[in-house]
Chains A and B, each alone.
Chain A
Amino acid sequence: MLIGTVVLAGLALGLCAVLVLTDRLLPAGRDPVAEQVESLLPRIQCAQCGYPGCRPYAEAIAAGDADINRCPPGGEETVRRLADLLGREVPALDTTLGNASMNRVARIDERNCIGCNRCVPVCPVDAVVGVQQTIHAVIAAHCTGCELCLAHCPVDCIDLVSRDA
């Protein structure tokens, strides 16, 4: 009786210690829900949801801090899929956030570009090429149409055009 109690208590304590230690010492694993949410987002990093990228937004959704209707480029299709994944009602897409779309790409008007280099560092996917004092250009195949560069151009020479054009 006593031996049994001691052995079981010891086991319980020992295993408890192992659990606590692994939780403390091992690096925190990636949140699997956030991972799944991110894989459903378009991942074009436009930040129109109010978070600085798709990953942070996915984490906010997984933590229950953000609504699932804040992704303009994903559109209603993404909202529907997120609702499916998370077992929620399908809310209407929040259309006030912006209208980034993957069907469009940025194009720099070469007649007006002054080579100020301000759009280069803000592009989340390094789709703008160019160094200071030279005309910049957008690699259309890499551009996601996130619109982040538009606000940084002092001469307003960046336009969004249809991806196929």
Chain B
Amino acid sequence: MLEYTPDRRPTGGLRLPAHKEASTAQPIARGFVPGTLILALQQHQGPPTTPVVRRGERVLKGQVVARARALRSAAVHASTSGHVRAIEDRLVPSVHAIHRTRCIVIDADGEDETRPGSGAAWPKDPEEQLEHIRDGGIVGLGGGVFPTAEKLRPHTPCKVLIVNGVECEPYISCDDMLMREAAAEIIDGALIMRDLLAAPECIVAVERDKPQAIEALLEAGRASGDASLKLADIPTVYPTGGERQLVEMLTGEEVPSTHYPSEIGYICQNVGTAYALHRLVRAGEPLLSRVVTVAGEGIARPQNVETPIGTPIGELIEFCGGYVGDVDRLILGGSMMGYALPNDEMPITKGSNCLIAAVRREVRQDFSERFCIRCGNCATACPARLLPQELLRAARDNDHALLDEFGLNDCIECGCCDVICPSHIPLTEVFRNAKFAHARYQRQEVFSAETQQRFKRHEERKRANVQRGKARQDHLRHEVETDEAARQKAIEAAIKRARQRRGNDSDAE
């Protein structure tokens, strides 16, 4: 397995303190069984799943509790054994925000009894293999939760499969620990994906600050003996692990803002996804758990935990020794792109990679915002090559044309501009809100334009109708006034109509 260093520098980005020492000091904790499971029916980007269990039913570990209907979906499995308590709406954290979603709530019985047999065997037919992945519940575990089956069926031939081990956001270390402990499994999963995609090349990308992970992966790569594998070590700059940023870093090609990387021939898959695929194919085990980093100074024992999907966050924190000190904020995700949770009753989903219980001194306290001094630091830091100060002006003026021009929708909300701004302007927050407002405005504009067209057609039809009626009247009048025969005919027809009407009336009597 060839190790190389890409000769490009990342666009923008920041070097941030990693805060990963505490959670990487010990191996991933395994064997945690929660007391309750809250399994959301929609833990992926795509149509929700349909529950196939009833209230009161006993379910076993590995059993499907909700089935996927489309390929762009992923089944949900019980991650431990127990009884279905309810199927109800709960608040569930998803990629960018908290949503009220239908959930299957299971009371675990603590026996952790596995479904007998090892599940369906890995099929031969590629189409069936994709369905198998969907029914195995596998989604992108890097946080995007895009259904893996759909992503492994690209419309453009795949040039390079990129296995993303660039875990650049502070605090998060779940991928790092997984690469250290399960490098061979990850390489195997990557090769399964490469075969499915028929990709000629497979690059595993890891940041330079993870020497143990790189060492383990190189060894596993050499052991596999596959010549298409390469390992790229990436400079430690946030947010190089973003899909678009990573593709550009490795290939030099910028992904157009209107396209997905897969549409120009590059597929990125997270190392956790590769591991999950390996488990599914080699052991018949669907996606039941994921590694979650529990970090922050407000946690008694910060560590990485192999957490069953659906575990309530509070139980996971109990497992890590509970809260210590004055916890200021509970954050789901990393310190840059994560968001604060209102309570710890919500579940870990397939996309939850990190949980930070931050004490007061870890959280940037609210500085008062000052005027933009147009220093341009934000533009230098922006990995998407945007001009945040111009966007800010457009967003605060509600100038939608300008927002489009400056590429609001290309903002990946990484938070770099926010951190670097000397005037403490909450840029990312402004952009996130502006995106919602902008989308609403665009929908409204489309509706208004369509309405205008409908009105125009309505008016034209009305005018045409009036004209046609008038033309017909004119024609008839002209005929009876000039042609004696036609006049007689018209009179006879009128008499006949009148008689008929009278006849009908007498019938009615």
Partner of B448, one of A43, A121, A126: A43
Interface string of B423-464 (1 = CB under 8 A from A): 000000000000000000000100111111011011100100
* A41 CA to B252 CA, complexed, in Å: 45
Interface string of B5-36 (1 = CB under 8 A from A): 00000000000000000000000000000000
Contacts between the two chains (Cβ within 8 Å), count? 35
Any chain B CB within 8 A of the CB of A124?
yes
- Are A125 and B455 in contact, CB atoms less than 8 angstroms apart? yes
Any chain B CB within 8 A of the CB of A98?
no
* A121 CA to B458 CA, complexed, in Å: 9
* A126 CA to B457 CA, complexed, in Å: 9
- Are A44 and B454 in contact, CB atoms less than 8 angstroms apart? no
Partner of B454, one of A38, A42, A54, A126: A126
* A104 CA to B113 CA, complexed, in Å: 52
Shortest distance between the CB of B288 and any CB in chain A (Å): 37
Q: Which of A1-59 contact B (CB under 8 A)?
A: 38, 42-45, 53-54
Any chain B CB within 8 A of the CB of A101?
no
Which residues on the A side are within 8 Å of B451 (C-beta)?
A: 43-45, 125, 142, 144
- Are A43 and B444 in contact, CB atoms less than 8 angstroms apart? no
* A111 CA to B458 CA, complexed, in Å: 28
Any chain B CB within 8 A of the CB of A102?
yes
* A124 CA to B462 CA, complexed, in Å: 10
Which residues on the B side are within 8 Å of A125 (C-beta)?
A: 451, 454-455, 458
- Are B448 and A42 in contact, CB atoms less than 8 angstroms apart? yes
Query: Size of chain B's interface in residues, with CB distance under 8 A?
Result: 13
Residue of A at shortest CB range from B397? Answer: A84
* A126 CA to B448 CA, complexed, in Å: 14
* A123 CA to B462 CA, complexed, in Å: 11
Interface string of B127-141 (1 = CB under 8 A from A): 000000000000000
Which residues on the A side are within 8 Å of B457 (C-beta)?
A: 126
Name, among B449, B450, B455, the residue most crowded by chain A CB atoms within 10 Å (CB to CB): B455
- Are B452 and A54 in contact, CB atoms less than 8 angstroms apart? yes
- Are A124 and B458 in contact, CB atoms less than 8 angstroms apart? yes
Which residues on the B side are within 8 Å of A43 (C-beta)?
A: 448-449, 451-452, 455
* A38 CA to B455 CA, complexed, in Å: 13
Shortest distance between the CB of A124 and any CB in chain B (Å): 5
* A107 CA to B444 CA, complexed, in Å: 21
Interface string of B32-46 (1 = CB under 8 A from A): 000000000000000
Which residues on the B side are within 8 Å of A121 (C-beta)?
A: 462
Shortest distance between the CB of B118 and any CB in chain A (Å): 46
Which residues on the A side are within 8 Å of B454 (C-beta)?
A: 124-127, 142
Which residues on the B side are within 8 Å of A127 (C-beta)?
A: 454
* A89 CA to B353 CA, complexed, in Å: 53
- Are B455 and A53 in contact, CB atoms less than 8 angstroms apart? yes
**Using a CB–CB distance below 8 Å, which chain B residues touch chain A?**
444, 447-452, 454-455, 457-459, 462
**Using a CB–CB distance below 8 Å, which chain A residues touch chain B?**
38, 42-45, 53-54, 102, 121, 123-127, 142, 144
Can you give 27 contacting A-B residue pairs, CB < 8 Å?
A38-B452, A42-B448, A43-B448, A43-B452, A43-B455, A44-B448, A44-B451, A45-B451, A45-B455, A53-B455, A53-B459, A54-B452, A102-B444, A121-B462, A123-B458, A124-B454, A124-B455, A124-B458, A125-B454, A125-B455, A125-B458, A126-B454, A126-B457, A126-B458, A142-B451, A142-B454, A144-B451
